[in-house]
Amino acid sequence: MNDQIKRIGVLTSGGDAPGMNAAVRAVVRTAVGQGIECIGIRRGWSGLITGDFVRLDGTSVSRIINRGGTMLYTARCKEFMDHEGREKAIATCKLLGLDSIVAIGGDGTFRGALDLSRQVAEHGARLSVVGIPATIDNDIGCSHYTIGFDSACNTAIECIDKLRDTMQSHERCSVVEVMGRHAGYLALYVGIAVGATAVLIPERPVDFENDVVENIRRARLAGTTHYMVVVAEGAGNVYDFAAQIKEALGIDPRVTVLGHIQRGGTPSARDRETASRMGYAAVKALVQQKGNRIIASVNGHIEDLDMEEALTMTKQFQMERYDILEALTNNSISHF
């Protein structure tokens, strides 16, 4: 029984990611095992402002580990970004008797958690916050891996594999947009996995002639009659790229935007296991009186990092993966 932490609020915020439910389950069951009450805050920070909550126990989180989405719902809340909005959230924390919050989401979720904690301190009180990284973009600087990435990759790969069947049958070029407004991790990972002809990502300036046109030409000269171009949404307009391919090569590409289908579906084993470990570590940090932490995956280990320091970290994009893609795609010029 823990005498310090009595009641934890848990919420999911921002874009949903497969595995969020597994993280909620782990937080609740670990807390209950420590004699700590859990309150689910529905609809993210918005729910903390409006008082939209539900009591959670071991039974209420049964049979959710395999479900995509989030049982607590999620939302983006502009009001919470303002001092007045956070004052309303603080009032809800007082009303519910919350002394800590576990926030599951991305960078914006964590910055909101830190702002809330600081504002509570202005009242002479204390609110411990812990963040769990869950985003299919895998773009949290302090964590090598974020919940949802593996599941989103598997979903995109499954869709593209099916799309390839029809592209091959009709001898066509397919241009597929995957999520990744500011990060190309998903596109590059998926591109390697499906054997894409070309992958366009925001981290690398697009040289359309060399990256796309010449790759398709080399593939055609090698006897290939169908081509797959994977584009991260932040790399540029997928329809413009298709038009450029048609103009340069005289072929008529088909555009497919996978969109939010990548967020849904049953979470993979990796996401369920990682979410469970992170949820457990979040409660453990709170029990040990560690406030304002982010749970991170660092070289396969789950660690809790100081939130302020963690939010200043940046992730080095693994450009060697692009080198691998080029070596495997441009086999006519590869030295391997």
pLDDT at 84 over 90: yes
Structure tokens at 278: 């992170």
Element (H, E) at 240: helix 238-249
Fold of 149-263: Rossmann fold (3.40.50)
Angle, CA of 88, 92 and 95, to the nearest 5°: 135
Write the CB contacts of 298 (distance below 8 Å, at least 6 apart in sequence). Answer: 143, 144
Residue limits of CATH 3.40.50.450 in the chain: 7-148+267-310
Q: Residue 336's pLDDT is what?
A: 33
Please write the tens of the pLDDT for every residue from 246-294. 999 999 899 999 999 999 999 999 999 999 999 999 999 999 999 899 9
pLDDT at 334 over 60: no
Q: Is 240 a catalytic residue?
A: no
Going by C-alpha positions, the residue among 138, 258, 260, 148 that lies closest to residue 194 is: 258
Going by C-alpha positions, the residue among 272, 286, 302 that lies closest to residue 34 is: 286
Q: Residue 223's pLDDT is what?
A: 85
Mean pLDDT (whole number) for 215-232: 90
Catalytic residue among 52, 137, 211, 304: 137
Q: Residue 333's pLDDT is what?
A: 38
pLDDT at 56 over 70: yes
Q: How far is CA 304 from the centre of its chain?
A: 18
- CATH, domain range 7-148+267-310: 3.40.50.450
Mean pLDDT (whole number) for 34-42: 97
Asked if residue 22 lies in contact with residue 115, where contact means CB atoms within 8 angstroms, the answer is no
Gap between the Cα atoms of 121 and 111, Å rounded: 15
Residue limits of CATH 3.40.50.460 in the chain: 149-263
Q: Residue 331's pLDDT is what?
A: 56
Going by C-alpha positions, the residue among 222, 237, 225, 278 that lies closest to residue 103 is: 278
Q: Quote the pTM value.
A: 0.92
SS3 content of the chain, % helix, strand, coil (to 5): 45, 20, 35
Share of the chain above pLDDT 90, in %: 80
Q: Where are the beta strands (DSSP E) in the chain?
A: 7-12, 37-41, 53-56, 100-105, 128-133, 173-178, 198-200, 227-232, 254-257, 293-298, 301-306
Q: Look up residue 288 and give its DSSP letter.
A: T
Q: 3: pLDDT confidence band, cut at 50, 70 and 90? A: low
Q: Residue 222's pLDDT is what?
A: 86
Bridge partner residues of 303 (DSSP): 296
Gap between the Cα atoms of 119 and 127, Å rounded: 9
Q: Residue 335's pLDDT is what?
A: 34
Q: Residue 121's pLDDT is what?
A: 92
